[in-house]
Amino acid sequence: MTSFNPSTDLLDLKGKVALVSGGSSGIGLETVRFLAQVGALVYMGARNESRATGAIAELEHDGLQPGNGEIRYFDLDLNNPRDVKVAGEAFLEREKRLDLLIHNAGIVSTNTKPGRDGVVENVTVNYIGPFLLTQILLPLLKKTAREPSSDVRVIYVSSACHVNYCMLL
């Protein structure tokens, strides 16, 4: 297996735009950090604005200078498809390109009570929300893919949870 060190192996991403869901904590936060460090404009998708802006302030304090990339808060709650639609359309208004759409947010919830659309939150957050967001942003992703030197990606951070112990929770 080839090893990958994000501190040294990431390419220069100046001029590129990324959107990372669940970007204010855990793996998403570190993803935001590394992408911004190599020059990307990174939208930190998060459902809690104060947590997100606090995380951005910490990342900037850790050494993100202007020109080294930029991080912006982006309001994104995947648990309600209507909110996802509003968020996706707002992104289209705000940005002229999108190079990396990283679906990092994910939950393992024991809540089996269906939400207002009759779907449990595990399904809404992990599947329906990311699918809908991708559909809405697809025209922008395709447009960016036609730009010179582009390398557009849609990335899902997944889990083996569905095949092992998490099923028993």
Ligand X SMILES: NC(=O)c1ccc[n+]([C@@H]2O[C@H](COP(=O)([O-])OP(=O)(O)OC[C@H]3O[C@@H](n4cnc5c(N)ncnc54)[C@H](OP(=O)(O)O)[C@@H]3O)[C@@H](O)[C@H]2O)c1
| Active site positions, annotated | 158
Coil, helix or strand at residue 20: strand
Does residue 134 interact with ligand X by CB under 6 A?
no
Token pair, residue 45, equals 């998708």
Counting DSSP H helices and E strands in the chain, the numbers are 6, 5
Among positions 55-74, residues that touch ligand X (CB under 6 A) are: none
158-161 LR contacts (CB < 8 Å, sep 24+): 158/106, 159/106, 159/108, 161/108
Does residue 90 interact with ligand X by CB under 6 A?
no
Q: Which is nearer to ligand X, 148 or 169 (CB)?
A: 169
d(CA 160, CA 138): 27
Q: Which of 13, 18, 19, 28 binds ligand X (CB under 6 A)?
A: 28
Name the one range near ligand X by CB under 6 A: 6-14, 101-109, 131-139, 147-155. 101-109
> Could you tell me the smallest distance in angstroms from the CB atom of residue 75 to ligand X?
10
In this structure, the number of other CB atoms found within 10 A of the CB of residue 45 comes to 28
User: 41 pairs with which residues across the strands?
Assistant: 17, 70
d(CA 43, CA 17): 8
Q: Which of 50, 159, 162, 166 binds ligand X (CB under 6 A)?
A: 159
Does residue 125 interact with ligand X by CB under 6 A?
yes
Q: Which of 16, 77, 101, 136 binds ligand X (CB under 6 A)?
A: 77
Does residue 39 interact with ligand X by CB under 6 A?
no
The values of phi and psi at residue 151, to 5°, are -150, 70
> Could you tell me the smallest distance in angstroms from the CB atom of residue 53 to ligand X?
13
**Interface ranges with ligand X (CB under 6 A):** 21-22, 24-28, 46-48, 76-79, 104-107, 125, 157, 159
